[in-house]
Structure 1
Amino acid sequence: MTDLHATWLRLVDSAYALLDFMAAGGFVMWALAALCVIYWTLVFERFWFMRRIFPQWVAERRQAWQHLGDEPGNWQRAVRNAWLAQAQQQLAGPLRLSKTLVALYPLLGLLGTVCGMVAVFDVLAVNGTGNPRGMAAGVWQATLPTMAGMVLAIPGLFSLARLERNARQALDRLADQLRHD
């Protein structure tokens, strides 16, 4: 067997294991997976924005600021405040959706817990306590989404904290650059 073939078989086995894992947690696991994809897409977009787009915007404002004149006046302060407000909106505005998604992870995990416990009670109602495998499957279905929700929320909180810190630092740098000496 070639290395490529062995690698392909391991990849297929991993894909089946992932599908089994997702199916064991019920529909809530698929909802968590979808939110995870959306969240990390938003996070990577924010990092890209802060590294590529926002510096160009800042450079344009800094160049325009130099042409406003040397004497500080009320209208220069108003322009500066407007640009800082725009920057604040561009940097922090899109983070609200990310915060909401991070907050939804544990809540969806809790929904999975409730659904799994309903499955356990269903087994108890039909079979009594004589079917431990059926009860174990329900407990597994209850535990899995809760764990997944917590596992997704923890790195989500860390990445969100970093994005917010980067946004604050970028805004502070812009405020320093738009001062009259």
Structure 2
Amino acid sequence: MEFINYIRNFLYSGGDVLWIILGVAICLWCLIIERLIFFKQNYPALRSSCLDRWDQRNDKTSAYALFIRQELISKALIQMNHNVSVIKVLIALCPLLGLLGTVTGMIDVFDVMAVTGTGTARAMAAGVSKATIPTMAGMVIAIAGLYFSKLIEERVSDESHHLADLLKYH
């Protein structure tokens, strides 16, 4: 329970933009986990389906057979790349939202300075905190997301090349 209070206080100290970053982060991680589960559970069935369809063919040397092979690889590639572009967009969005949080936090700092007429550190502390926390959160989420995005892209590339090797074209 104390952990939830800590998270809630953290979100409130970062301002409204941090809540948006949280929503983007939840969407991002749901999509990343979905892709990882796809490769663990669904892709083996997809690969065996492609191999079965290719093995049932008698003709594996004609130009028509080459087109069928390319179609099988392309359909598998489309399914493997599902939501990868959305993941990339969400990763790119996180630092931008962090920057938005910085700007809104600095506006709060300037509002405090305008009201008090001085630049006292105590009066500006809440605005500075509100400015730095979203930036940090956006960068942390983007950096972690980049790692998993690259991992997924490499898996797509490896599996598509492996599938192309398995679908032998004589």
Q: TM-score, normalised by structure 1?
A: 0.90
For residues 4-153 of structure 1, what are the structure 2 equivalents within 5 Å?
12-129=1-118, 131-153=120-142
Q: Distance in 1 between matches of 2:28 and 2:82?
A: 15
The alpha-carbon deviation at position 126 of structure 1 amounts to 0.8
When the two structures are aligned, how many residues end up with a matched partner? 170
The alpha-carbon deviation at position 70 of structure 1 amounts to 4.5
Q: Distance in 1 between matches of 2:3 and 2:74?
A: 48
Q: Distance in 2 between matches of 1:164 and 1:102?
A: 14
Judged with a 3 Å threshold, the aligned counterparts in structure 2 of structure 1 residues 78 and 41 are, in CA distance, closer, same or farther, namely same
Q: Distance in 1 between matches of 2:78 and 2:24?
A: 24
Q: Distance in 2 between matches of 1:79 and 1:108?
A: 45
SS of 2:117's equivalent in the other structure is: helix
**Deviations, residues 68-101 of structure 1 (Å, cap 9, x unaligned):** 1154101110001111111121112320000000
SS of 1:69's equivalent in the other structure is: coil
1:180 aligns with 2:139: no
The RMSD of aligned alpha carbons is 1.2
- The aligned counterpart of 1:164 is 153
Identity %: 38
Task: Identify unmatched segments of 5+ residues in structure 2.
Answer: none
List 4+ stretches of structure 1 deviating above 2 A: none
